[in-house]
Structure 1
């Protein structure tokens, strides 16, 4: 784990802050601003009245990273993102009468899972990094508290487990229609397409070195297909060519088809 500290700036969050610090084996500090911890850990997980955020320390550090579903880009995509015409919807196989039950085995901040839930899918998420899991759990809890009726229905279609998918998948029967993988790929740090905040996030999480093995585990669990999200020029996972691809300007979806969807699946 990258050098990190947990900061609690609100009395109501001291218990979850203490649990997270213990899970990370990190120092727990109270009532500090980032300017107070510039000399020390590279990252801070900060609990305050607005929730939990990941913040890089030091001078000229980028802004905080949160799992956010009520406002911002994710919510904008929910309202104006193109519905079932989006590439991710086509990759997963969403149709008028087909709403697959999806396992997002590399959940991250839950953005793709939220899109799929917006389109009617039940989505179960796995996240193995304790810091990222805490951010995602916090985002879901805040969304459930603040949601209107439409958003509340979407959040209710999302569930989350903490743990490594390579292990969790072996414990499950063939219960998922689709397994969705978005393994962390090494970022080009100077890419203008990657915001400073997300570069900090990538630095914390690192690359998923076991992604090849995760593909095989996913193929053994999924009923209908496995979908892998990749940078456009990235190699195939496990050097295994997919059944077909959906390509965009900077990324692609590799679809490993196992069997045809039925006419109705909800």
Structure 2
């Protein structure tokens, strides 16, 4: 059970939380395990009976350090999506999570559209984007990032059906093919309930992973992504994890603890 502690929370946030059918609390009920709260100017997720909290911070912390000293175009994720010379691909991030890779790509000049189906992750991402838009150092980067709350499998399927070769009409919550359903790269970083997933070693991430859960339908995303991508599909995986959907990639970029499996389009 999760809700928003209403103390000091902006009215617009309370309205968004209610629209997503989360309760507003003055005091969390005894059976609640997690809560969203407004704290020091940002929205955060916190477990009620453990230490630690999660919020999306594109302005400071680890992402600020990565933006300034992370290696720029030399980073594996930049090489994986194909940034080179004047070429800056348009990227669809189907499993946005906390938006870290999306922010890195946007900081390098790519336009990135993020999909996130979890209402909790969506709210945290939305708040992180708001603060990035308000900060002088990250405002320009944030203009290259957009966020859609949608189930990636449904969104991809509808976007594929709405391609110019099809007579299908995209649903209202999808951009039409002329408004944004054309992407050079489709990026997948599914969350799996695997014991060797490196992020699980960080205690402060446990609440986020528990609430978001594993992307158990991730295998189905690959075939759809390959139909939509103009240039390539990139799948981020733990370095020793099996291939997504058992499909051998066309090329691979290795990182220290992760790898980026590349697949060519099939349309």
Compute the TM-score of the two structures, normalised by the length of structure 2. Answer: 0.86
Gaps of 5+ in 1: 260-266
Question: Shift of the alpha carbon at 1:240?
Answer: 0.7
Residues 219-245 of structure 1 show CA distances to partners (whole Å, capped at 9, x for unaligned) of 110000000001112211111110021
* 2:13 corresponds to 1:6: no
**Matches of 2:233 and 2:196 in 1, distance apart?**
29
> Could you say which residue in structure 2 is the equivalent of 1:130?
119
Q: Which residue of 2 aligns with 1:20?
A: 17
The structure-2 alpha-carbon separation of the partners of 1:22 and 1:153, relative to structure 1 and needing over 3 Å to count, comes to closer
Aligned to 1:53: 44
Contact 2:198–2:238 (8 Å) recurs in 1: no
Find the counterpart in structure 2 of residue 115 from structure 1: 104
Query: Are 2:63 and 2:100, in contact at CA under 8 Å, matched by a contact in 1?
Result: yes
**What does residue range 87-236 of structure 1 map to in structure 2 within 5 Å?**
87-148=76-137, 151-172=138-159, 173=163, 175-188=182-195, 194-236=201-243
Q: Secondary structure at the match of 1:6?
A: strand
Match status 1:44 vs 2:42: no
**Residue of structure 1 in register with 2:170 after alignment:** none
Partner of 2:235: helix, strand, or coil?
strand
CA RMSD of aligned residues (A): 2.0
Which runs of 5 or more residues in structure 2 are unaligned?
A: 164-180
Structure 2 distance, partners of 1:190, 1:251, is 10
Q: Deviations 1:156-209 (Å, cap 9, x if unpaired)?
A: 110111111111123323610000000001143896873111122111111001
Residue correspondence of structure 1 range 57-72 to structure 2 within 5 A: 57-58=48-49, 61-72=50-61
- SS in structure 1 opposite 2:201? coil
Name the stretch that deviates more: 40-49 or 217-226. Answer: 40-49
Structure-2 separation of matches of 1:170 and 1:253 = 23
- Over residues 53-92 of structure 1, what are the superposed CA-to-partner deviations in whole Å (9 max), with x where a residue is unaligned? 000111xx13210110111001110000001110001111
The separation in 1 between residues aligned to 2:57 and 2:225, in whole angstroms, is 27
CA distance in 2, matches of 1:74, 1:255: 25
Shift of 1:142: 1.2
For residue 243 of structure 1, what is the aligned residue in structure 2?
250
Cα separation, 2, equivalents of 1:254 and 1:154: 26
